[in-house]
């Protein structure tokens, strides 16, 4: 029996997976590459023969909307590093995802991983121009690096939450903890300091709901290593 290790950065992402079968191991890492790498190493040490990066991502391609499924062939970082998803695993996920009614398309392209959120539209535009990637996250490259180093398979299954033309308010970033929890007093204080961020904040909830619908649909699929 092949054991699959799933790394989700956020508690809300992990909840969409529901009850996992016995051949799945889950680690909720917290945001960022270092946290993701630690979680991935722990999963391999616990017996995982494949690592799946699961969760949300931001769009860089302006055609992608909240809810689009990302099953990238290649994961890169800004320094020019690259890892490939294990082909048979990615193709099986793509075949299943094509039948998911809630998904707003299935995208197999290049995913960029960065150490910090890309908060502004200009930063997203520049990242797209520099890398050619369709979307961005903070964890997948680190997970791929662990998989390559420890000799296990690797794949990514993510869902777009914010579009290329959505700015991420600094007040939201500063009020959000490592596992996705929001400190409401800190958020309110941030908005009081920067009330111009309120329109951008109001655009996020419908994106979040659309993304979670697709992520739940993704979580109901057979995500295991073939």
Whether residue 102 is predicted with pLDDT greater than 70 in this model: the reply is no
Output 193-201 pairs: Cβ under 8 A, ≥24 positions apart: 194/169, 194/170, 197/169, 197/170, 197/171, 197/172, 200/166, 200/167, 200/168, 200/169, 201/169, 201/171, 201/172
| Neighbour tally for 189: CB within 10 Å | 14
Whether residue 165 is predicted with pLDDT greater than 60 in this model: the reply is yes
Find the domain containing 121 and state its range. Answer: 4-219
Is residue 194 one of the residues assigned to a domain? yes
Is residue 41 one of the residues assigned to a domain? yes
Confidence grade of residue 107 (pLDDT, cut at 50, 70, 90):
confident
Q: How far apart are CA 41 and CA 5, in angstroms?
A: 10
Q: How many domains does one find in the chain?
A: 1
Is residue 141 one of the residues assigned to a domain? yes
User: What pLDDT, on a 0 to 100 scale, did the predictor assign at position 99?
Assistant: 67
Determine whether 130 is exposed, middle or buried from the number of CB atoms within 10 Å of its CB (0-12, 13-18, 19+).
exposed
Partners of 135 in beta bridges: 59, 111
Partners of 199 in beta bridges: none
33-42, 73-82, 90-99, 215-224: the lowest-pLDDT one:
90-99
Determine whether 116 is exposed, middle or buried from the number of CB atoms within 10 Å of its CB (0-12, 13-18, 19+).
exposed
Is residue 14 one of the residues assigned to a domain? yes
The CATH number that applies at residue 141 is 3.40.50.1580
Q: How far apart are CA 56 and CA 59, in angstroms?
A: 10
Is residue 211 one of the residues assigned to a domain? yes
The number of C-alpha atoms within 13 Å of 223 and in the hemisphere containing its C-beta is 33
Which whole number is the average pLDDT over 195-221? 89
Which whole number is the average pLDDT over 97-115? 79
Is residue 224 one of the residues assigned to a domain? no
Which whole number is the average pLDDT over 78-85? 95
Could you write out the DSSP letters of every residue in the chain? ---EEEEESSHHHHHTT-SPPTTEEEEE--SSHHHHHHHHHHHHHTT-SEEEEEEEEEE-STT--TT-EE--SEEEETTS-EEEPPHHHHHHHHHHHTT-TT-S-EE-SEEEE-SS---SHHHHHHHHHHH--SEEESSHHHHHHHHHHHT-EEEEEEEEEE-TT----HHHHHHB-TTS-B-HHHHHHHHHH-GGGHHHHHHHHHHHHHHHHHHHHHHTS--S--
User: What pLDDT, on a 0 to 100 scale, did the predictor assign at position 182?
Assistant: 85
């Amino acid at each position: 029996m092949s054991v699959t290790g799933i790394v989700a950065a956020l508690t809300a992402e992990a909840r969409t997976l529901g009850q996992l079968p016995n051949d799945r191991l889950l680690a909720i890492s917290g945001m960022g590459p270092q946290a993701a790498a630690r979680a991935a190493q722990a999963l391999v040490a616990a017996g995982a023969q494949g690592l799946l990066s699961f969760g949300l991502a931001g769009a860089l391609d302006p055609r992608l909307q909240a809810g689009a499924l990302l099953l990238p062939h290649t994961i890169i970082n800004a320094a020019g590093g690259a890892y490939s998803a294990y082909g048979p695993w990615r193709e099986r996920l793509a075949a299943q995802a094509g039948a998911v009614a809630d998904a707003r398309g299935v995208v197999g392209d290049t995913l960029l991983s960065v150490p910090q959120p890309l908060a502004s539209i200009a930063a997203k535009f520049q990242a797209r121009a520099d890398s050619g990637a369709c979307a961005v996250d903070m964890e997948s490259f680190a997970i791929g690096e662990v998989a390559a180093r420890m000799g296990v398979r690797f794949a990514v299954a993510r869902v777009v939450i914010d579009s290329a033309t959505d700015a991420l308010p600094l007040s939201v970033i500063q009020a959000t903890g490592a596992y996705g929890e929001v400190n409401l007093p800190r958020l309110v204080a941030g908005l009081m300091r920067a009330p111009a961020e309120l329109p951008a904040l109001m655009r996020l909830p419908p994106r979040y709901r659309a993304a979670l619908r697709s992520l739940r649909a993704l979580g109901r699929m057979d995500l295991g290593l073939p």
